[in-house]
Amino acid sequence: MRFNVRVYGLLIHDESILVTDENRFGTQFTKFPGGGLEFKEGTVECLLREFQEELAIEVHSPTLFHINENYVESAFHKDHQILSIYYLVETDEIASIKTKQDKFDFDGQEQIFRWIPLEELKESCFNLPIDKQVVQKLMTFI
């Protein structure tokens, strides 16, 4: 068994939250922006790096929002246990974020971003079990 630490950012703007649609491992899925912690990297460093790599923006004011407390097996690597850490984040670069309107509108890309209005946010928007837990928590938070 291996541990896989994942770090995600919850970016809310104008009553919407940013999500990413991905086409990886032969599967299409929706999740929050972020990714895997690298060796010798802290969780906030990972968060900042992931937003820079994926969106070419800088985020700031990370506030810890959620850590999964239960056992979760990786959906993609059955010998990995997932630990996911979610932060609320802010950015001054909203206008720089390139988004699409439609879910899974990849147009040759493996990853796209889009906004989901908070009023439409529900567990069924997401594929991964920890993201569904975060949505439940967000719904009581907002």
Q: How far is CA 37 from CA 7, 41, 49, 57, 141, in A?
A: 7, 7, 10, 18, 26
User: What does R_g of the chain's alpha carbons equal in angstroms?
Assistant: 14
Tell me phi and psi for residue 117, to 5 degrees: -60, 135
Higher pLDDT, 112 or 80: 112
Q: Could you tell me the residue range of the domain that residue 106 belongs to?
A: 2-141
How many structural domains comprise the chain?
1
pTM attached to this predicted model: 0.94
pLDDT in tens, 56-89: 999 999 999 999 998 888 777 788 899 999 999 9
Residue 11's nearest CA partner among 78, 79, 92, 106 is 92
Whether 11 contacts 59, CB under 8 Å: yes
Whether the predicted pLDDT of 24 surpasses 90: no
Helix (H) or strand (E) holding 38: none
What percentage of the chain exceeds 90 in pLDDT?
Answer: 82
Instruction: Name 87's bridge partners.
Output: 9, 64
Instruction: Tell me what pLDDT residue 55 has.
Output: 97
Pairing of strands 16-24, 34-36: unpaired
Instruction: Identify the CATH number of the domain in which residue 65 sits.
Output: 3.90.79.10
